[in-house]
Amino acid sequence: MGKYEKLRQKILSGSSDSNINFSELCKLLIRLEFSERVRGDHHIFIRYELIIYWSEEDSAFIVEVPELPGCMADGQTYQEAVTNAETIIQEWIDTAKELGRPIPSPKGRLIYA
């Protein structure tokens, strides 16, 4: 069993959470295809599929989150668009919680095109 599989098993067992090295946890989440955003001391991991494309009409990068209806963002650069999308995803989820609406579980990868 590899290093990350051992860490994954340790987390899933629910034992010794305080002994899990934070940097190793971050590396595991990245290996599991979560995207990471760091704001100050906070690390935010998301796993919703992002569709990113350039819009000539808007002169901006557009990001759509197909698993969250109506969830979109834009930005002048690719990174700005992704950063804005990560913020909008969290706001979408927070709003759904406030309204008592269901929040779709992230599937991670599209199964359609």
Q: Residue 60: which CATH number?
A: 3.30.160.250
Predicted local distance difference test score (pLDDT) of residue 14: 65
Predicted local distance difference test score (pLDDT) of residue 64: 94
Residue 106 lies in a domain: yes
Residue with the bigger pLDDT between 85 and 110: it is 85
Interval 54-101: pLDDT, tens: 999 999 999 999 999 999 999 999 888 988 998 898 899 889 989 999
Average pLDDT rounded to a whole number, residues 13-42: 72
Instruction: Out of 21-25, 41-45, 86-90, give the one with best mean pLDDT.
Output: 86-90
Predicted local distance difference test score (pLDDT) of residue 110: 53
The number of distinct structural domains making up the chain is 1
Residue 1 lies in a domain: no
Residue 63 lies in a domain: yes
CB contact set of 7 (below 8 Å; sequence gap of 6+): 20, 24, 25, 28
Range of the domain at 54: 47-113
DSSP-based three-state secondary structure for 69: coil
Is residue 109 over pLDDT 90? no
Residue 32 lies in a domain: no
User: What is d(CA 43, CA 39) in angstroms, rounded to the nearest whole number?
Assistant: 7
